[in-house]
Structure 1
Amino acid sequence: MNNLKDVFLHIHYCNSRKFKEPGQFNAKMARTLNHHELIFICNGKGSFKIRNKQYSIKKGMLLIISPDVPYSIELDSTVPAGVLTIHFSFAGITFNDGKWNVNDNMQAPLGQPVQEIKEYYHIEEQFQKLVDCWNEKLPGYEFSARTMFQQLIIEIMQSRNKQSQSYGTSLKVEKIIQYMHQNINARITLPELSKLVHMTPAYMSRTFKDTTGYTIIEYFNKLKIDKSKELLIEGNKKVKEVAQELGFADEFYFSRMFKKSEGITPSQFNSRIVHGI
């Protein structure tokens, strides 16, 4: 999946349809949309057909529909139905070398068209809050809903990771991240981390990337860059001093990593943000 930080989401509309009695919901639907749709089945059962494949659906399932893809859904009219939906579009937005880049051909951020969420209660709650926010339409609701949608996607990703990995593996990734925070000023190695979590370096690296979307080095450098901004803003330190304090090999390597992450050099950040130039 693409890094969520690079995804800009636009919500077209949201909907909630929940019924206490069977037969109150339009049980059959077939259509093609020109945008993405996310459907959460909060009650009922039935079938879902997309790309010439048919799936059985039930409570706790997510359906992800891409633009211009015909699909049909049929719910059992003898069971009370309930669905939550979000209609949305998205694009990749990155900031490099002081320029914004837009990529509207990104891979869909949610994965396969049918997903079963085993521990779905928290996701259903988050989904419902988003839909309620959209329907209430209080001032700033579009921004709030977009933020809540990002959080919902994170919840879905984390739930999927927990299902695909053992709980023990997830704890090991968290242990690595905690160790990074504790040693933010040092240099850490893959053998060092491998010994910490009792995993081979190759398996550890693959598991970490699958869980976080970053390589171990990328993630550690990201933590260091975030810490460097804090030191530049609050510590009144020179760029060279910050690089040394965070364990970078030299000031120039630190500057390259900073610019790659933030789009400007640490010196430019120091001038524009800290000193307001």
Structure 2
Amino acid sequence: MKKSRVSGSQKESSNHADLLIDVDKSYLAYSLPVTRPFVHFRSGHFPAGTITQKHSHSIMAMHGSLQGPLTLKTSIGDYTLDAGDFCILAPGTHHFWSNSGTHTAATISFLIDTDHPGRWSAGSGVVEACGELGQLVQDVHCFSSSGDPDLQHAFWQIADQLTIERPWKKLGVTGRLWTFLSIILERLSPELINESQHDVAQQIRRLLLSRVNDRLTIAEVAAAVHVGATQAKEVFRTTFGCGIMAYFNELKIWQAKRLLCDPNLTIDQVSSKLGFSSPTYFSQTFRKHTGETPSDFRKQR
């Protein structure tokens, strides 16, 4: 195992240039040699305040969190990862890391060259697995090992290969990486994806119910359930037939009706309690959903 420091302060040529100059404090902590199709099996450390350079890989990548929280910002969406969370990125996906916390975060990563899997026997299944991965991973897929014992065990097994200070045999490293990937392939199957999307939609619904008095953005909702903003909107609409914010406003109006029946609360106070930006916007939203103003609703009751 080798531990090395790498320089992180380089000028970013993208639109994030003003944010990324002189704040990349990340460094390579551990690295192990691996056999194809795996490339660059590594662990990195990201001190508080780190924003890394925006980049992409020409082959598939796995980026996970050993110690978070840490945000993986991609061209698909932002993913806030804590320990045991990880994302599989399709080739060419632009991304960078951001640590807005107060502690150093740690990651684990490796690349997968599905087009050049290496010299494996025909009966090993490696070539077929690489082909299947290439077909299934077309953008960003985010996973949490929490609540999934098999995935959790496999994730921390590969993490141990990098973080334990004793030599590992290459066969053991490769075997654990393939065990991990075989579980990922199972989780990426279309049948399980449909179940997973339904679970995500239900998580979003429960979040909206529990935080009906708050102001929430799509990005905040997506981050809370560990998916990208686009995926969050799609799975919610598919499951419930409406948008996330439309559903959230319906919940707020339902709560508003209950609060308006309390004569001790003014309309302004009801608006504030429900997280509306202003009483005017509250009245507009209430009228849009009920056909009457909050004042009219209260008078009739």
> TM-score, normalised to structure 1's length?
0.41
Ranked by relative contact order (alpha carbons within 8 Å, sequence separation 6 or more), the top structure is 1
Greater fraction of residues in strand: 1
